[in-house]
Amino acid sequence: MEVEQNAIIRPSSNFHPSVWGDQFLNYDEQEDQSTVEKIIESLKEEIRKEIGAALDDETKHVDLLKLVNDIQRLGIAYCFEQEIEQALQHIYTTYGDNWNQGYDFLWFRLLRQQGFYVSCDIFDKYKDNMGSFKESLTSDVEGMLELYEATYMRVRGEVVLDDALVFTKIELQKVTKDPPSWNCALSLSKHIEEALERPIRKRLPRLDSLRYIPFYEQQDSHNISLLRLAKLEFNRLQSLHKKELSQLSKWWKAFDPPKNIHYTRDRLVELYFWILASGQGAFMAEETNYFHLCQEDLDGIPADDLEEMDINYHMAMISYRAKNQQLLGNHYKYHQAQQTMQTLQNKTLQIGAFKLRMLPFPTVL
């Protein structure tokens, strides 16, 4: 009896095409970057000296915390990982829970963020006899913003921080509705709106720096060398990302997804952005090379072997684990993975962020 062979017809979900088109296909290699690299290294050394000079001078410990905060918000913390760890370790060793230099909210957030479990009892002094936060706090808008950000470093059972979150949200929302009456600059008001939408704890560092660099530049007290370094590093990494996207785009176009896997989404740029979310800075060159190694193995998988929407997950994981074994010993930084995944679900943020800054920041060498 002859068995009739029916052709497999895979359903198509009519996904909309990629919004990027061939935008990243071509990459114009920049001229020799040796001069820029020398300037970057010189600026890094200058900042390292500033950090070192503030370590042993208690009168400069607040300035040290501010410097660490700016370094992190400007997206260049990966350049100073050892220095930041040393600085915050020194602060923790010197004061423990007895910090008395001011800027309590910033101190609390930075140390908790770095893994030092400092007590939240320091917030009790900001409450009145009725257990409510003092009305005087509302006169310091930037202080309220710092308190708001600090509350996201709380752990279960820290009621004072739960209360602080409710208090600061209500007050900061009032500020954004009528900035002039609070003597709040429009740039700071916009900064507060962004924080209320997504606090530092739940942001991608690279996208946070994209917004923070212009804000920081508007501050009268900004560190010129630090700002210059942040712009140069942002531009350098942006160039690297464009180069990698060009390589991936050429591979993707040659693979011809509409023909071979027409039932899948064309989301190469979004997938690349997902990889960026797992790390940044100096680690990215190695991490994306890691992706390329897996990609080479996946190229050998026949398109006919791909089940409808499964994309042969198990074969992909075999390749991933094999490459992971080869790269044992490499240390990659993964910051707030759960918050990152939550952020990545917001497609508007993904697309808007790329379109927001396709050009480098203007710099003067």
Residue 266 to residue 284: CA distance in whole angstroms: 23
d(CA 287, CA 275): 8
**pLDDT by residue (tens digit) across 249-258?**
898 888 887 7
Q: What is the CB neighbour count within 10 angstroms for residue 169?
A: 14
pLDDT in tens, 5-42: 555 565 666 777 788 888 888 888 766 678 888 999 99
Euclidean distance between CA atoms 184 and 189, whole angstroms: 6
* Residue 130: Cβ within 10 Å count: 5
Q: Are 250 and 226 in contact (CB under 8 A)?
A: no
Query: Are 79 and 44 a contacting pair, CB within 8 Å?
Result: yes
Task: Kindly report the average pLDDT of the chain as a whole number.
Answer: 80
pLDDT value of position 336: 37
Predicted local confidence at residue 121, as pLDDT:
93
Of 324 and 85, which is predicted with more confidence?
85
Distance CA 130, CA 128 (A): 5
Which residue's entry shows tokens 């400069």? Answer: 60
How many other C-beta atoms can be found within 10 angstroms of the C-beta atom of residue 74?
A: 24
Q: Is the pLDDT of residue 324 over 80?
A: no
172-200 residue pLDDT tens: 999 999 999 898 998 999 999 999 999 99
Which residues, including other chains, have CB under 8 Å from residue 37's CB and lie 6 or more apart? none
Question: How many Cβ atoms from other residues are within 10 Å of residue 121's Cβ?
Answer: 10
Residue with the bigger pLDDT between 357 and 122: it is 122
Cβ–Cβ < 8 Å for 153, 109: yes
Residue 64: its pLDDT value, please?
A: 97
Q: How far is CA 168 from CA 16, 29, 164, in A?
A: 41, 47, 6
- pLDDT confidence band for 323 (50 / 70 / 90): low
CATH superfamily of 53-220: Terpene synthase, N-terminal domain (1.50.10.130)
Residue 13 to residue 265: CA distance in whole angstroms: 9
Residue 69 or residue 330, greater confidence: 69
Quick: pLDDT tens for 267-282: 888 888 887 776 554 4
Using the predicted structure, report yes or no on whether residue 338 has a pLDDT greater than 50. no
Report the percent of the chain where pLDDT is more than 90: 46
Q: How confident is the model at residue 308 (pLDDT cuts 50, 70, 90)?
A: very low
Q: Alpha carbon of 58 to those of 35, 99, 101, 119: distances in Å? A: 37, 11, 8, 21
Please state the φ and ψ torsions of residue 197, each to the nearest 5 degrees.
-75, -40
Give domain limits for the chain.
53-220
Q: Which secondary structure element, helix H or strand E, spans residue 4, and what is its range?
A: none
pTM value is 0.76
